Amino acid sequence: MKALRVSFSLCCLATAAWAGSAAKKPHLPDVFLVTIDTLRADHVHCYGDADIRTPALDGLAGDGIRFEQAFTPSPITNTSHASILTGLLPSDHGVTDFAVPLASDHPTWAELLKPAGYHTAAFIGAVILDSKTLAPGFDRGFDFYDHFPEHPKTKERWGRVERRGMEVVQHAEIWVGNHRSGPRFVWLHLYDPHDPYDPPEPFSSIYKERLYDGEIAYADSALGHFVAYLKKQGWYEGALVIVVGDHGEGLGEHNEDTHGIFLYDSTTHVPLLVKLPGQEAKGRAVEAQVRTTDILPTVLDLLGAKLPERLDGESLRPYFSGAESAERTAFGETDYPLRFGWAPLRSVRESGVKFIEAPRPELYDLHSDPKELHNTYGPGDAEVHKLRAMLAELGKKMPARASRDTVGQGASEELRALGDMGPVGSTSVPEPSLLPDPKDKIEEQNLLHKAMLAADDERTDAARDEFKKVLEIDPKSPTALVQLGQLELAAKNYADAAEYLGRAVVSRPGDATAAFDYGQALQLTGNLAGAREALQASLKLNPNLFSARLLLARVYLGLKDMTAAEDQVEAALLLQPASVEAQLSMAEVLVAERRFAEAVPQLLAITHSLPSNTEAYALLAQAYTGLGRQAEAKAADNRAKTLQARAKSR
C-alpha cells in the first residue's frame, strides 16, 4: 500500500489513458461509490450537526475531501441517481420519473470503467432502483446487479421493497471478497433514511424523538462496517471512495414532509465526500458550490479514462489542490409534480441567489435568507432576467422529453408499495403554467403520501381516512379518487368503489386505467350497461388494455351480445395469443353461442396443457352436455368438482 501512495498522485493516472491502448495498463484503484438516500447535508455531523453521530462519514471526510456545497439537480431517487451515474442533467438523460428507461446512448459509470478491466457490481437498498422493474437500464455495465426477488416470500417491507443498509453492505462485502483481483467498481445504495423512518435498535431508542436522524446514524453504521471491512482486507488505503446523498428531505420546511415536489435547499443540498487513493488532499473542505453531475467526470479524469461526448458536469479535480475555488452553476429540475397534475419546476442557483421557475416564480437571496423564506421575485428584476435566460438556454440544449407513459402495471404496484402514486396515465401534459402551482398543493401531497404508505401496509382504515382528508381539501383530486376507488374495490365495497371511480374519470378523463377500474366496479355492482360504457372509454384511450378487452367481452356476454363479445376476445387474443385466460374466454363465448363442437377441441387443448384448470373442465362439461355426450360431460363435471374441492381445502 505504501508503494501505491507514492505512485498515485492527482495527475499521474490521467496520462495513462486506457482506451484502445496497447501499452501496459496503469495500476488502477478500486472505486467504491456509496449513495445514501434522502440524506440532508445539515443532518450529518461533519456538516455541522452536533446532535448526530456519523463517525463513518466523518472518518471519510477526514481522510478525503468534503464538499460543503454540493447540489443534486433532482430531488427524486431515480432521476438523481441517473445524474450521478451519467454526469447528465435530468432533462438530458431523460429519466425524469420512475420506470423511465435510461437510454442506451447515455454511457454509465460502470460501462465507462469496464474497458479498463474493472469488475463491476451494484448493491441496491430499494426496489425503485431495480433495473428489472423501476430502473430499466441502470444495470448496464454491471457484471452483477443485486436485484430484488421477483416473487418475494414476505409481505413485509424488508426484502420485498427495501433492504436495510447492513444487508446491502453484507451482500457487497461477499461479492468483493469473491472478486479479489481488482480493479473493482462497486456501487452501494443505502436507502435507510428514506421514509418511513424505522431504524433498528439501538438507533430507534437513541434517536426516538427524531427517527430520521436515527436512520442516518444507522446508515452511517452500515457504511462504517463496509469501511472497516475494506481496511481489514487492506483495500481502503488505495481505493477511491465517494459518498454522496441522492437528495435531502423536507422535514416540514416549506410544508414539504418528504421530497420530490420542491427544489429548495432542504431537498437539493447533499453531502459529497471524495476519498482519494493514498488519502491525497486529506481533510480538505471545499466551499465552492458544485454539483452531483460533476462526480462521474471527476472519476474519469482521475483514472485517465476517455470522457463521453455528452456531459453536463465537469471534473472536480482542480478543487482538490485548491487550484480552483469558483462556484459552479447548479440547475434543478423536478417533473414529479406532474404525476399529480401540478406544474413541474426548474431552478438555477448561482452567486448566492436561487431562482425557481413556477406558476408563481420565486427568487431568494441565499446570503440574507438561506432558508428561502422571503420570495423577492419581481418580473422586471435584472437578476430574474439573467437567470431565466440561463434556464431558457439550457432548455434549448436538451433533447426532446422522454415519454412519461411508460410505467407498466407491475411497476406501479411496486411504486405504490413505496408510497408513490403511480403514473398520471396517458393524459397529455398541458402547458405547465396552466397547471396548479405545487406550492398550493403541498399539504395535499403530504396527505397522499401518508395514505399510500398506509394502504401498502394494509392499514386500510387509516388509508381511507387520509384519502378522505385529501378530498376535503380538494374534492376533485384524481389521485385520491382513483386510490380510494381501488381501495374499496379490493375491500369488495363495489358501490363505493364505483362512486369514487366515477368521480375520478370525470376529473381525469384521460386516464385509461381509472376508466377500466370504473368499468370493473360497475360490472361488479351489476350495472352492465354502465360497465360497457366505461370499458369502451378505457379502450378508446388505450386500445392495448388486455384486461379491459376481456372484461368487456364478459360484460357483452351478460348483455347477450355474442358478436360483440367475440370481437373483444379476438382483440384480446391478438394482444396476447398465448393467454389461457383469453382462450378460456373464447371457449366461453362459443359455449354461450351454442357452438359446442368448436368449443370442445379448444377446451381439450387447455386441459391437456393445464390439467388442473377448473374453469376449463366446467366449460367442457357444458359443451359435452350441449352435444348430448352425457358420459363425457359427467366425467368433465366430476373433474371440475374435484379440482374445486381441492382448491378449497388448500
Which position's Cβ is nearest Zn ion? Answer: 77
For the purposes of burial, counting CB atoms within 10 Å of the CB of 254, is it exposed (0-12), middle (13-18) or buried (19 or more)?
middle
Q: How far is the CB of 126 from Zn ion (least distance, A)?
A: 8
The distance of closest approach from Cβ of residue 349 to Zn ion in the complex, given in angstroms and rounded to an integer, is: 20
In the bound complex, what is the minimum distance in angstroms from residue 38's beta carbon to Zn ion? 5
Q: Of 75 and 94, which has the nearer Cβ to Zn ion? A: 75
Pairwise CA distance, residues 86 & 111, whole Å: 10
- Closest CB to Zn ion among residues 79, 446: 79
Judged by beta carbon, residue 169 or residue 176, the one nearer Zn ion is 169
> What distance in Å separates the CA atoms of residue 515 and residue 510, rounded to the nearest whole number?
9
Residue 444 CB, shortest distance to Zn ion, in Å, is 21
Task: Answer for the pair 348, 329: CB distance below 8 angstroms, yes or no.
Answer: yes
Write out the H or E segment, with its range, that includes residue 300: helix 295-303
CA distance 391 to 404: 22
* Shortest distance in whole angstroms from residue 401 CB to Zn ion: 22
SS3 38: coil
In the complex, minimum distance from the CB of residue 63 to Zn ion, in angstroms, rounded to a whole number: 26
Residues near Zn ion (CB under 5 A): 37, 77, 246
Minimal distance in Å, beta carbon 145 to Zn ion? 18
CB neighbour list of residue 35: distance below 8 Å, 6 or more residues apart: 81, 84, 187, 188, 189, 190, 243, 244, 245, 246
Nearest to Zn ion of 35, 513 (CB atom)? 35
State how far Cα 316 lies from the chain centre. 28
Closer to Zn ion at the Cβ: 78 or 538? 78
The residue (of 128 and 186) whose beta carbon lies closer to Zn ion is 128
Nearer CB in complex with Zn ion: 278/419: 419
In the bound complex, what is the minimum distance in angstroms from residue 424's beta carbon to Zn ion?
A: 20
User: Taking the complex as a whole, how short is the minimal distance between the CB of residue 258 and Zn ion, in angstroms?
Assistant: 10
Per-residue DSSP letter, 378: -
CA distance 421 to 5: 50
Nearer to Zn ion, 221 or 268 (CB): 268
What is d(CA 240, CA 262) in angstroms, rounded to the nearest whole number? 33
C-beta of 123 vs 355, nearer to Zn ion: 123
Report yes or no: 539 and 575 within 8 Å, Cβ to Cβ: no
Could you tell me which residues come within 8 angstroms of residue 22 by beta carbon, excluding any fewer than 6 positions away?
Answer: none
Helix, strand, coil share (%) of the chain residues, nearest 5: 50, 10, 40
Instruction: Collect all residues with Cβ–Cβ distance below 8 Å to 42 and sequence separation of at least 6.
Output: 48, 49, 269
